[in-house]
Homo-oligomer: A and B are copies of this chain.
């Protein structure tokens, strides 16, 4: 073991305290929530928000990356008599791309023998849910999604258009079980990822976001990738996909998973391709299968599997403007075409299910034929693949595997809703997980925004998780700032979707921030925002003095002109004069042009 221990960003966000709520069915669980304190003059309780950031934002926890996070879930009830521990697969040189010793990422210092389901036993959340078992993970999710809103159950009027979503006022563990049992939600939680703080992805839950990280053949570093994961969840990423494609894939992934409180997703095909030296046509089912087991033993929580790219679909892409833009999709298309055979992923899908079932790896059925341009949106290739994904969903569900479905991509606004409607109909309401979509192709450098527009809309229409896009999309690899901008943009999209769906807890934060704005509680306005650092920095550019954060005006209008201040005066005057009663006279277009009374005009 090398002495290198990467440092990661730790410490709470401003004015924030991490609180933990215990379970009722499972007292051993501790569900994290973030409470943002507001100024005493507000006379309001702290605002409770969802917290995906893990122990890194808890000042009482000392972070040691080389030890990994506590393996809490192994202390929870649920898997007794269903699993066995065994000697896992041995790491092979090709797992790390035959990297030389000099360039090798250090092996994670601790090894854990993996678990798998006993023969004939099911361990997936779906299997347990179907058996009527409320797992600790389900109770964890229920508490997490409620955001402390039990307090105000009766006070909140529902305001939104949820389309066909049915979001309850209050979430119970039993309701979570029912959502999982129906396939409408998944809890990605590999039994070999006990460090996980469980979360749910489903159209009746808060909309989630995913951030992608990963080294590539061009740049790479383990320390960077672990920090990118920690950084992404600090700002709100609910899951993280490790899309590494270079060498050291196995070792980097181990560091990431052992330190990840969120579900980790991968595209196993990428690593399989590395094992055959990047030559798509040399891929075999055996190499792929071995890679699935390798990653399942490490604890990957969901696999993107491009089993919907079938030989018969490929001709549908030939006249596209941008062909096949999914990496996985293009690799499989090349393989199919070269061998002129049906995809081995499609042919072996049932065996893939058996592997996923043994570890509870969720499926993220990949949209290998997603459109890469406005011109190709909602075309025959895309929807032919979606039909296949619907077929595969049934196969996976029959084997108790949890499933979500990936979606586009590049779609103009008027074609977004069709994607959701078709996906729900075709895939039996399995959670939809989309990349954006980008609503125009003409703004490289701003594709977090072009896609944030589509993401907000598709989230509103029923997409359960939104895969972020950074400003570097189509142009380069995201750095730390890009990851943050991508995450914040997608938190905006997800939250806007929750608001529009009328999620009962969503508006609490908007209202608290708006009250802070109206009352010139600048510090509260910063602290309640998605990115307090940036809000504060922008404010201070124009009005840097500390006193200005107490000022009852801002730089836009200056002290005399502030509309908020004037509005306060109006409120005060109105209340003093008994305005509401007085104004009755003027409503309904009655006596509008009354003379001002002399004593008022002379004021």
Q: Chain A interface (Cβ within 8 Å of chain B)?
A: 159-161, 216-219, 245-246, 270, 273, 278, 280-281, 310-312, 314-315, 317-318, 321-327, 329-331, 333-334, 337-342, 347, 372-375, 412-414, 439-446, 448-450, 452-453, 456-457, 460, 471-472, 474-477, 479, 488-489, 491-493, 495-497, 499-502, 507, 509-511, 513-515, 517-518, 525-526, 528-531, 534-535, 537-543, 554-561, 563-564, 566-571, 573-575, 579-580, 583, 586-587, 589, 592-594, 596-597, 600-601, 603
Contact = CB atoms under 8 A, between A and B. Distances in A.
A514 B321 contact: yes
Across chains A and B, which 6 residue pairs bring their CB atoms closest together, nearest first?
A323-B567, A217-B558, A373-B514, A476-B542, A315-B583, A413-B500
29 contacts: A216-B556, A218-B543, A219-B542, A245-B558, A312-B587, A315-B587, A317-B570, A321-B511, A321-B518, A322-B518, A322-B567, A323-B567, A325-B563, A325-B567, A338-B573, A339-B601, A341-B601, A373-B510, A373-B511, A373-B514, A374-B507, A374-B511, A413-B496, A440-B496, A445-B538, A446-B492, A449-B492, A471-B538, A472-B541
Contact of A561 (B278, B439, B526, B568): B278
A559 B502 contact: no
A422 to B, nearest CB: 16
Contacts of A270: 561
B413 A457 contact: yes
Contact of A334 (B273, B448, B569): B569
Contact of A327 (B496, B543, B561): B561
A270 to B, nearest CB: 8
Nearest to A413: B500
Given A315-B583, A496-B450, A543-B476, A515 B440 contact: no
Nearest to A346: B592
Contacts of A571: 318, 323
Contact of A453 (B445, B492, B539): B492
